[in-house]
């Protein structure tokens, strides 16, 4: 089990941030570097059919050792880390026997990880935590998932007396920018169902996620000297502010939780002549998802009537959908994971994902794919941490799922 920590600490040294603006796959070369590392490890532990394609997708097989047919299970994690926080020069630190108080991440910058801000820390008093140095993310999303899957596969490969069916593993690029399933070869993977190991705290088990879309608005203005601007100047930045004011205040992410969706302004840049706004739209309900997109469209229509045709140009693109409708017909795979957690002495926490995973899109591509916990907290930022015991429990749950499937 200590190998899961060793692997994780090695993987986070490779900066695999994905980049939204780059159109190649993978979007960054270092994802290929991590992929090559994983291919080498998978071969060393004895897996078969190990490959990495030109797009950076890593796949491998642990052959069945049974004399009977059982379902083929897959386990999937992603190699990239979020573009929202630096993944370069990650310096993980082990906090042993955490005492329940503040953790000084960076003395020079006075960066503190505190249970006052993150109360869940107190759940891990007495445990060993892996934290950042306060200047980068940690990368548990999803390098912890990779480490947990490979450690489970190594254990099975080293213990052929443990019965199991055929197991597939895959590691994908660019999940964080919504492209993780773009070139995933479901037929080549050839599993009956799979689990993404891409969740958060201990016990998370998820088979519902947001429906998701992105909106890009380009607002065109007209610039002249401000001394002669009356009835001539059109300030695109002010129209952008007006547009945002037309959206429901209560549907911003900072005011929502559980099944509540949101419209989130992620980026704004511009000048008098032209301003760009970028939003993401999220909701678990198909109907409310459609309503949110309609609100944006109607605000655009209103401003184009007010300021003239083509003042505001909208590009609205659906990203992924709620996998619930694809998982419910095979809900036994969720029940299997739930039972595995219980037998591994982990309390299942079944809740909707307030986000998305590769599994959402893969479920619509014919590969039902619920999501399992990695054990990490505070993903995508400098306050990210992961308890070592939670990582070990994730390995145990993967092994237990395989065991139960083989009975």
Domain final residue pick, 265, 299, 320 = 320
Domain final residue pick, 320, 348, 367 = 320
Structural domain count, the chain: 2
Q: List the beta bridge partners of residue 267.
A: 278
Please indicate, yes or no, whether residues 129 and 224 belong to a single structural domain of this protein: no
Examine the pLDDT at 363 and tell me if it is beyond 90: yes
- ∠ CA 163-199-284, nearest 5°, is 120
pLDDT of residue 66: 96
pLDDT of residue 81: 96
Examine the pLDDT at 1 and tell me if it is beyond 80: no
Q: Which CATH number fits the domain that encloses residue 40?
A: 3.40.630.10
Q: Which CATH number fits the domain that encloses residue 240?
A: 3.30.70.360
Examine the pLDDT at 270 and tell me if it is beyond 90: yes
Please indicate, yes or no, whether residues 235 and 360 belong to a single structural domain of this protein: no
318 is catalytic: no
Report which of 190, 278, 194, 203 is spatially closest to residue 240, judged by C-alpha positions: 278
pLDDT of residue 178: 86
Do 339 and 401 meet the contact criterion of CB atoms below 8 Å apart?
no
Please indicate, yes or no, whether residues 199 and 216 belong to a single structural domain of this protein: no
Structure confidence at residue 20 as a pLDDT band (50, 70, 90): confident
DSSP-assigned letter for residue 12: T
pLDDT of residue 115: 97
> How many CB atoms are closer than 10 A to CB 265?
16
Q: What is the mean pLDDT of residues 265-279?
A: 97
Q: Which of 41, 166, 175, 251 is catalytic?
A: 175
pLDDT of residue 107: 94
* SS (HEC) of 354-382: CCCCHHHHHHHCCCCCCEEECCCECCCCC
Please indicate, yes or no, whether residues 315 and 326 belong to a single structural domain of this protein: no
Q: What is the mean pLDDT of residues 196-210?
A: 96
Please indicate, yes or no, whether residues 305 and 343 belong to a single structural domain of this protein: no
Please indicate, yes or no, whether residues 269 and 369 belong to a single structural domain of this protein: no
- DSSP conformation letters of 321-363: --THHHHGGGTHHHHHHHHHHHHTT---EE---SS--HHHHHH
Instruction: Render pLDDT for 55-107 as a digit per residue (tens, 0 to 9).
Output: 999 999 999 999 999 999 999 999 999 998 999 999 999 999 999 999 999 99
Q: How many CA atoms lie within 13 A of 77 on its CB side?
A: 29
Q: Which of 41, 80, 174, 208 is catalytic?
A: 80
Do 64 and 165 meet the contact criterion of CB atoms below 8 Å apart?
yes
Please indicate, yes or no, whether residues 345 and 234 belong to a single structural domain of this protein: no
pLDDT of residue 69: 94
Distance CA 344, CA 265 (A): 41
Please indicate, yes or no, whether residues 189 and 330 belong to a single structural domain of this protein: yes
Please indicate, yes or no, whether residues 119 and 81 belong to a single structural domain of this protein: yes
Count of H helices and E strands in the chain?
Answer: 10, 17
Instruction: Render pLDDT for 291-314 as a digit per residue (tens, 0 to 9).
Output: 999 999 999 999 999 999 999 999
Q: What's the whole-number average pLDDT of the chain?
A: 96
Residue 115 structural domain: 2-209+322-406
Domain final residue pick, 320, 355, 386 = 320
Percent of the chain past pLDDT 70, that is, above it, reads 100
123 is catalytic: no
Please indicate, yes or no, whether residues 188 and 268 belong to a single structural domain of this protein: no
pLDDT of residue 16: 97
Instruction: Render pLDDT for 221-269 as a digit per residue (tens, 0 to 9).
Output: 999 999 999 999 999 999 999 999 999 999 999 999 999 999 999 999 9
Please indicate, yes or no, whether residues 78 and 54 belong to a single structural domain of this protein: yes
Distance CA 369, CA 191 (A): 10
Instruction: Render pLDDT for 307-345 as a digit per residue (tens, 0 to 9).
Output: 999 999 999 999 889 999 999 999 999 999 999 999 999
Please indicate, yes or no, whether residues 251 and 129 belong to a single structural domain of this protein: no
Token readout for 215 is 């909106």
């Amino acid at each position: 089990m200590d190998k899961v920590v060793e692997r994780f600490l090695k993987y986070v040294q490779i900066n695999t941030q994905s980049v939204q603006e780059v159109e190649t796959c993978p979007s960054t070369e270092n994802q290929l570097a991590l992929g090559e590392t994983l291919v080498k490890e998978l071969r060393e532990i004895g897996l078969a059919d190990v490959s990495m394609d030109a797009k950076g997708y890593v796949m491998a097989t642990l052959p069945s050792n049974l004399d009977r047919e059982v379902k083929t299970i897959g386990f999937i994690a992603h190699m990239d880390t979020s573009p929202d926080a630096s993944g370069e020069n990650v310096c993980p630190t082990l906090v042993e026997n955490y005492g329940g108080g503040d953790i000084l991440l960076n003395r020079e910058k006075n960066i503190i990880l505190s249970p006052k801000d993150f109360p869940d820390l107190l759940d891990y008093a007495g445990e060993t935590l892996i934290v950042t140095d306060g200047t980068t993310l940690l990368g548990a999303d999803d390098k912890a998932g990779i480490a947990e899957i490979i450690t489970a596969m190594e254990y099975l490969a080293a213990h052929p007396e443990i019965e199991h069916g055929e197991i597939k593993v895959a590691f994908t690029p660019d999940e964080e920018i919504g492209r993780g399933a773009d070139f995933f070869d479901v037929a080549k993977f050839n599993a009956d169902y799979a689990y993404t190991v891409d969740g958060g705290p201990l016990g998370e088990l998820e088979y519902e996620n947001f429906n998701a879309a992105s909106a890009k608005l380009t607002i065109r203005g007209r610039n002249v000297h401000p001394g002669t601007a009356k009835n001539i100047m059109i300030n695109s930045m002010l129209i952008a502010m007006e547009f945002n004011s037309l959206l429901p205040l209560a549907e911003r992410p900072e005011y929502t939780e559980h099944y509540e969706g949101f419209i989130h302004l992620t980026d704004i840049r511009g000048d008098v002549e032209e301003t760009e706004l970028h939003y993401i739209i999220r909701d678990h309900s198909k109907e409310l998802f459609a309503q949110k997109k309609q609100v944006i469209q109607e605000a655009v229509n209103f401003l184009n009537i007010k300021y003239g045709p083509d003042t505001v140009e909208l590009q609205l693109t659906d990203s992924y959908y709620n996998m619930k409708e694809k998982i419910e017909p095979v809900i036994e795979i969720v029940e299997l994971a739930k039972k595995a957690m219980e037998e591994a002495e982990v309390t299942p926490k079944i809740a909707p994902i307030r986000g998305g995973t590769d599994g959402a899109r893969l479920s619509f591509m014919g590969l039902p794919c619920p999501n399992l916990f990695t054990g990490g907290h505070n993903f995508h930022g400098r306050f990210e941490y992961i308890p070592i015991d939670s990582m070990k429990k994730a390995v145990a749950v993967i092994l237990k799922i395989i065991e139960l499937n083989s009975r």
